[in-house]
Amino acid sequence: MQKPNKRLEGQTCIVTGGSSGIGKAVALAIGRDGANVVVNYHSNAESAEEVAHQISKDSLCGDAIAIQADVSHEADVVEMFSTTIETFGTVDICIANSGIQRDAALTDMSLSDWQRVIDVNLTGQFLCAREAIREFLRRGMRPDVSTSLGKIIHMSSVHQIIPWAGHANYAASKGGLVMLMESICQEYAPHKIRVNSIAPGAIQTPINREAWNTPESLEKLLKLIPYKRIGVPDDIGSAAVWLASDESEYVNGTTLYVDGGMTCFPGFTANG
């Protein structure tokens, strides 16, 4: 765990899906760096409250609250932003992290499993980015807290470029996210808004438990990771803090892969 810092002091950050896995680690890391944090959750109020409590306890200068919202529902997302603005005055950073899998072979995939993944993983990202940008533009620059008008970080996946049999809905949602993120960047960078994605590789969280919870499955997984360890949520937390801070001011429209080299085609290590 990183030491508390104050790179995000005076700023407010919404982290969607902040009650578990990567979102929880990101929310805690952002809080340690001094921001106020909104820990969004879908259904696990108790975990979200615990994360918010931990942030308020550990932070040198920030505070935290938990807010329920289904990111695929427009009214919920609008309400989450207005409650955040009422509580903390504005939003400076939005980390759209929520995501789900509904896996099936394509021929067995129901329309509802296709649709739900697109709704949460892509439409949810659009709704959060749209509300964040509306608020950034309304509020205007605050040079005392950041050199950017606002920052958006989309949680993508290595599957934005690695095709994934049996997970076509998920891979399509993350592939779509690249163009969403880059188009938003092109449109709003002139307003000093920064929009980037983080593409995690295999990170040990509830979403992929069966890929690491037995020695056999872990061994199989490690063949895909040149660095030879599975990622942990804090690997993503520290990347998110850097991307949210002015240290990365000139980084815009980029995907930061945090994957131990997974996207470097390890299958070709021994001459393919």
Residue 62 engages ligand NAD in binding (rule: CB under 6 A): no
Residue 70 engages ligand NAD in binding (rule: CB under 6 A): yes
Instruction: Tell how far CA 61 is from the center of its chain.
Output: 23
**35 vs 120, beta carbon nearer ligand NAD:** 120
CB of 111 to ligand NAD, least distance (A): 18
R_g of the chain computed on alpha carbons: 18
CB of 156 to ligand NAD, least distance (A): 7
Residue 42 engages ligand NAD in binding (rule: CB under 6 A): yes
3-state helix, strand, coil in the chain (%, to 5): 50, 15, 35
Among the candidate windows 31-39, 57-65, 143-151, 203-211, which touches ligand NAD by CB under 6 A?
203-211
Question: At which residue do the structure tokens 């205007």 appear?
Answer: 140
> 237-257 burial, b if ≥16 CB within 10 A, otherwise e?
bbbbbebbbeebeeebebbbb
* CA dist., res. 7 & res. 38, Å (int): 17
Neighbouring residues of 41: CB distance < 8 A, sequence distance ≥ 6: 17, 18, 19, 47, 48, 66, 67, 68
CB of 20 to ligand NAD, least distance (A): 4
Residue 143 engages ligand NAD in binding (rule: CB under 6 A): no
CB of 102 to ligand NAD, least distance (A): 11
Where helices occur in 189-268 by DSSP H, the ranges are 215-222, 233-244
Q: Name the nearest CA neighbour of 92 among 135, 62, 46.
A: 135
Residue 202 engages ligand NAD in binding (rule: CB under 6 A): yes
Q: x-or-dash pattern for ligand NAD, window 97-126, by CB under 6 A?
A: xxxx-------------------x------
Q: Which of 170, 188, 250, 257 is catalytic?
A: 170
Provide the 8-state DSSP code for 98. -
CB of 240 to ligand NAD, least distance (A): 11
Among the candidate windows 29-37, 94-102, 139-147, 247-255, which touches ligand NAD by CB under 6 A?
94-102
Active site residue 257: no
**23 vs 62, beta carbon nearer ligand NAD:** 23
* CA dist., res. 222 & res. 266, Å (int): 10
Please give the positions annotated as active site.
170
Contact positions toward ligand NAD, by CB under 6 A?
Answer: 16-17, 19-23, 41-42, 70-72, 97-100, 120, 155, 157, 200, 202-203, 205-208
